[in-house]
Structure 1
Amino acid sequence: MDVAARPAEIEVATGYPAPVEATPPENRLEMPVQSFRSWNASEGRKPAVPQAWQTPWLARIFVFGGAWALTAYGAWEMYHVVSVSRTTFLQYVLLVLFTVNFSWIALAFTSAILGFCALLFRLVKSPRAETLTQKTVVVMPIYNESTARTFAAVAAIRESIEATGLGAHFDYFIVSDTTNPDIWVAEERAFLALRQRLGPDARIYYRHRPKNHHRKAGNIADFVTRWGGHYPHMVVLDADSLMTGTCIVRLAAAMEADPDAGIIQSLPLIINRNTFFARLQQFAARVYGPVIATGLAIWSGRDGNYWGHNAIIRTKAFADHCGLPDLKGKPPFGGHVLSHDFVEAALIRRAGWSVYMLPDLTGSYEESPPSLIDIATRDRRWCQGNLQHSRIIGAKGLKLSTRQHFATGMMAYLASPFWLMQLVVGILIVLQVNYARPEYFTEEFRLFPVWPRFDPERALNLFGLTMAILLAPKLFGLLLTLFDGRLRRACGGGIRLVLSALLEILFSAFFAPIMMVIQSGSVFQILVGRDTGWNPQRRDDGSIPLNDIIRRHRAHTLLGLVAGLSAFMIATSLFAWMSPTIVGLLLAIPLSWASGNLALGLWLKRRGLLLTPEEGDPPAIAVRANALQAEFSQAGFDDDDGLATLHADPMLRANHEAMLPQVQSRRRGEIEPDRAVAQAKLIDAETIADAMIWLKPKERMVVLHDRALLGLLANLPEGPARAGAEPRAS
């Protein structure tokens, strides 16, 4: 887009008489690196209000004791299923795999019972104090995001907080780790436009980090060590977060009222998405999520977990105890900690601060990945981060419940390969029954051959029990929604609500085997040493090209075809047993296409299916954020070439230079190849068009970080590119 064609918009973005102070003066906090190998209990603090520290032993006994009892019963029944005759080695393997998988769903079941009872009898009530005396900062880390979306969210959050009358107690900090040069310049323009819009009392700040060391954890740590001393508390967001002013004020009030609180987590609801897959997730999170989260909050008590966003943190405690060490070795199990949030909760809890959730606190929102492929991409990074916790789960001084959180996170991904192995072992057993030669002459003389045999009646009963336990949390959520007249009507009424739940269960069953294979592949890649990296998430409703869908899922379709043919040839009973898995894999390509389909999601929405209260009556903050996003999009910051924008606008360039670190990262006498190449291209360029074509993205970042090179850029005249100039690499 031609920047010069929109002088009025440039003036809006940069109409400052002098460079803006993008950040307040630094107020540094030390953030020492913690040790996983050593910890002295005397280093932990004593509770300021001991009477508030009531460990929920009864809830834990019910959840874990009940899960253990159910698992023992399931294992006992499975043993009798496979021990009708002499039990073979493969049958013992099947018994072990079944027991592991059954224990996982049994724990979710007993925790959901606890949450269901608590919600049914309204046993959970969050504090409602709204009086503040201290300063809180709202921190939004961003990484190559749409500026229209993120800055609109910050502006909407600020407006909502101001509406509470307590706005003076809050500042706002956008901390950028962006590595795309055009997006970096767009962020600065959006920041300057927002500051101009809000006036001198904006209290919104922006910092871009030259190197995204340790990624999001390093981004937050950089903020804490440089400016954390200004703020007793910080509310940490994600780039897709929205929180109402009332929610943030209540979190801050709860933190002020509880001198032992280190982290208080809210329960974000999923909103704003319209694709079929995203609406399935929104419905599931809205209807079933509170049951699961409430149960977790009750048995965790003050030994809870942190999900990395939409939570408030005591800044000094975080600085003192949450400095993350690098793990020895190379990724995926070594290097910096990927899933840092679990570890930060573990460390701050180890130091004597409490971590807990307020599951009934409303006004906390986030967005969902729009398709199956998008969630699989995010899941790959989460899988690596959770398996990396196997290096941390045995760290000194951690609370037992913290270790349980780590184990739960790891099992969330290990369950897929365990399930896959259970299917494979089942196939091998059926093969053995149908094709192996009978063994008449064993060490013990027998009149009949040794066959693997099963008790079919017991097996059917056990299957029914397994499915009941698996689906019970969804049934609990559905019942609670049906019992609540306001929620029932907001979800389309009783009939549509039940139909929506059936639709969600059906398609979750179809998507499950695809995710099983994807997650099993992720686990295997991690075990053989393949690092995932950290790619930015796609946050819009745009569909994925069909060619990409076919490429990503053709192996799944082929696996489903092979498994289906093999099962049918071995035994029709095996085919029937595996049919849900086979159907999901065979339909992987059309299911994945449908998952990201916007038209299908909107069609269901118009018919009142998969409807959530937040869709029928959108939260005011979401409406406002969407309106502001449309305004920011019209300004075109995300569409412009960053170098051209800086070249055309001297005041923007002056602001950009003012935001750069004062200390140059390059020492005199050192020659950096990218800088040398960028400088040579700028010297050789006759016009700004030449520079725009010749400079590659990495060289553009070097130019944007270097005041001297920015001076060379500024001196280039306007004009067309020279004949024969090659386009820059994307």
Structure 2
Amino acid sequence: MTAHIPQSRFAPAEVVTRPQPGTAPTDRRPLWTVIALTAALTGLIMAGYVLTIGTWTVWAVVAMALITLTTLTLSLGAATAVVGLIFPAPRAPRPMPDWQPSSRTAILLTLCGEPPRGPAAMLAELAADLQRAGLDRFVDIFVISDTRDDKAKAEAEALAPLIGSGAITYRRRQENVGRKPGNISDWLDRWGGDYDFMLPLDADSRMSARRIRHLIHRMERSPSTGLLQSGMRLLPAETRFGQLQRSAQRIMGPTFLQGFSAWTGDAGNYWGHNALIRVRAFRDAVPLPKLSGVAPFGGDVLSHDFVEAAWMRRAGWRIEIDADTRASAEDGPQTLAEYHKRDRRWCQGNLQHLRLIAAPGLHPLSRLHMAVGVMGYLSAPLWLATLLLLATGAVPMAAGWMLLAVATLLAAPKLCGVARLMRQARGLRTKGVVLRAAALETVLSSILAPIVMVNHVVDVAQVFAGRDCGWKRPGGASLRLPTGGLEALAGTGIIALVAATNPSAVVWVLPVALPLVFAPLFIRFMEAPCACLMARA
């Protein structure tokens, strides 16, 4: 049922004429740099492949195609990090201390069965922060819920003090039509006309009033901007796995995000939350299409945020990324099981983009965002197939240099991030902390990567087999194995296959196979509470 809804503090917005979407000047040097670097890196690796191939066979041609696809993705990531390192971040104009918005903004916290106490505490803190910053007269907070059954009562009880004080407006839908996009669409139908901007938050999102104020100021100064995605950090973690993600983000995130913001320009992307969106632009470009057929490739679009950004850009609105990660955060999965569950849904949603990537009128970079999202999951089976083709001798060549080239591309974003941190660090002690943290993160991430790869292979196989995950990982034979059992079987199988077909190459597959063999122990280690070493890193 719909819970108590206080009246909006605003009268309906007056009808005004806003500027039509336009094209503001955009620096294209980062884009051309990324294109040149991606082409050069991919070309070097492919040239090495062609020069070292022993005999051209059908399998050699297949391997070349696989390596080209996967290397393009890795090269793009490396080039993005390099651009983030060499191109300084533009200085966005900051509002004066006495500046006040001329617009109205709605913060939308979307809930769907999450434990409510954390979001309730976050909202209480945010409401107080908005009041201290003098934004409470221009910003309203809405909690729009799709929570059902017994969880709905606990949610209403946790939010009751905020509802009673008028700090938030709370609405819970009876029917969860269209999932999160449908939830926001329902809000737009009811209240969208009263607001210029909306700022979606997830249950684990955090933003400060100061950060929100800067986003509003920037949007008001750019009437052709339809969406402004804020950079994000990860909140402090509870487990070693959560801390590993946080360390990786702190090392690589700012440099990579700056590069991504620079070369995407006015055709950036949207990650579903912590973004300021112009209501008019969103309503002009959305709703999303409903894909014909049944899930997993049909039905509702799961990874809707990429598509919403693409549709808005197609309508002429600028989609921009504010690479600043300060005072904007989210929580990451704390266990491998939570990570794989989330990844399974993202895998299905991203693979649905194969049906949307050729939609008429899309900006080329919008298509690229979708393609990169698809390759984020297809890369796993493609790399595994490439590894087996090279290691088993089906493609006669010295495979060691290929693994080295791939490792170099994977390390490039990390090296750029470390270079940035070393440039900022003051004193040898601080530089030493950076180097130790980067070394520890590199070791643990290298062990984790094959485990993630195997799970991505399984996820992609399930989607192409027609298995719909909905909002949770589907059951199956693999889930009846002990934790890490599937990975251990995969690692043992890789070693056995290579040993039987090409024993001299066993040493080259050990960096991939051994982490899989010992996955049960490693997963248990990573899901333990944060150790002091990880906390310091």
Structure 2 letter corresponding to 1:322: V
> In the alignment, which residue of structure 1 is the partner of 2:16?
none
Q: Choose which of 215, 225, 230 in structure 2 pairs with 1:266.
A: 230
Q: 1:522 aligns with which of 450, 453, 459?
A: 459
Cα shift readout 1:551-578 (whole Å, capped 9, x = no counterpart):
3431221121222233334444311110
1:61 aligns with one of 28, 32, 36: 32
AA of the residue aligned to 1:281: Q
Aligned to 1:464: 404
**Alignment equivalent of 2:92, drawn from 122, 126, 129:** 126
**2:62 match: secondary structure:** helix
For residues 581-640 of structure 1, the C-alpha deviation after alignment (integer angstroms, 9 at most, x for no partner) is 111110111122222211xx133246x2x2xxxxxxxxxxxxxxxxxxxxxxxxxxxxxx
Match of 2:283 among 313, 319, 340: 319
Partner Cα distance (1:319, 1:154) in 2: 26
Where 1:167 maps in the other structure, the secondary structure is coil
Shift of 1:461: 4.7
Query: How far is 1:64 from its partner?
Result: 1.5
Q: Say which SS state the counterpart of residue 482 (structure 2) adopts.
A: helix
CA RMSD of aligned residues (A): 2.4
Q: CA deviation at 1:550?
A: 5.2
**Following the alignment from structure 1 to structure 2, what is the Cα–Cα distance between the partners of residues 605 and 417?**
31
> Who is 1:189 aligned against?
157
- 1:169 alignment partner in structure 2: 138
TM norm structure 2: 0.92
- The one of 527, 532, 536 aligned to 1:603: 532
Report the AA paired with residue 27 of structure 2.
Answer: P
1:313 aligned counterpart, secondary structure: strand
Task: Give percent identity, aligned residues only.
Answer: 33
- Counterpart amino acid of residue 184 in structure 1: A
User: Is the partner of 2:296 in helix, strand or coil?
Assistant: coil
Offset, 1:58: 2.4
> Structure 1 CA distance, aligned partners of 2:305 and 2:504?
45
What displacement does 1:216 show? 1.0
Residues 1:481 and 2:421 aligned together: yes
* In structure 2, C-alpha distance between the alignment counterparts of 1:476 and 1:248, rounded to whole Å: 29
Is 2:213 aligned against 1:249? yes
- The structure number with the bigger radius of gyration is 1
Aligned residue for 2:140, secondary structure, equals strand
Alpha-carbon contact 1:126-1:360 (below 8 Å) kept: no
Who is 1:392 aligned against?
A: 356
Residue in 2 that maps onto 1:76 = 47
- Residue 557 of structure 1 aligns with an amino acid whose one-letter code is A
Q: Out of 425, 445, 450, which is 1:513 matched to?
A: 450
Q: CA deviation at 1:73?
A: 2.1
- Residue by residue over 1:400-451, the C-alpha shift from the partner in whole angstroms, topping out at 9 and shown as x without a partner, is 11111111111111100101111221244x2x5xxxxxxxxxxxxxxxxxxx
- How is 1:404-443 mapped onto 2 (pairs within 5 angstroms)? 404-428=368-392, 430=393
Is the contact made by 2:313 and 2:319 (CA closer than 8 Å) also made in structure 1?
A: yes
Maintained 8 Å contact 2:226/2:278: yes
Structure 1 length-normalised TM: 0.68
SS of residue in 2 equivalent to 1:302: coil
Structure 1 residue ranges (4+ consecutive) displaced by more than 6 angstroms after TM superposition: 25-29
SS of 1:140's equivalent in the other structure is strand
Structure 1 partner of 2:327: 363
- The Cα shift of 1:165 comes to 2.0
Query: Is the Cα contact below 8 Å between 2:227 and 2:277 reproduced in 1?
Result: yes
Matched, 1:301 2:270: no
Cα separation, 2, equivalents of 1:117 and 1:549: 49
Residues in 2 aligned to 1:310 and 1:161: alpha-carbon distance in whole angstroms:
16
1:581 is the counterpart of 2:512: yes
1:713-724 mapped onto 2 (5 Å cutoff): none
- Aligned 8 A contact 2:390 2:396 in 1: no
1:110 aligns with 2:79: yes
Unaligned runs of 5+ in 2: 14-18
Residues in 2 aligned to 1:494 and 1:57: alpha-carbon distance in whole angstroms: 34
- Separation in structure 1 between the aligned mates of residue 124 and residue 513 of structure 2, nearest angstrom: 48
Q: Which letter does structure 2 place at the counterpart of 1:171?
A: D
Amino acid at match of 1:562: G
Partner of 1:219: 183
TM alignment of 1:606-685, pairs within 5 A: 608=536, 610=537
Task: Give, in whole Å, the separation in 2 of the partners of 1:82 and 1:596.
Answer: 42
- Secondary structure of the equivalent of 2:137? helix
Report 1:558-597 matches (<5 A): 558-597=489-528
- Aligned residue number for residue 557 of structure 1: 488
Deviation for aligned residue 1:22: 4.1
Q: Deviations over 1:273-307 (max 9, x none)?
A: 12001100001111101111111111110111000
Query: What amino acid sits opposite 2:158 in the alignment?
Result: A
Does the aligned pair in 2 maintain the 1:280–1:504 contact within 8 Å? yes
Please tell me whether the aligned partners of residues 484 and 519 of structure 2 are also in contact (alpha carbons under 8 angstroms). yes
Flag the 1:214–1:95 CA change in 2: closer, same or farther, 3 A.
same
Conserved? CA contact 1:275–1:595, under 8 Å: yes
The alignment of Structure 1 onto Structure 2 pairs a total of residues equal to 523
- Structure 1: give runs of 5+ residues left out of the alignment: 1-18, 30-44, 433-451, 537-546, 611-730
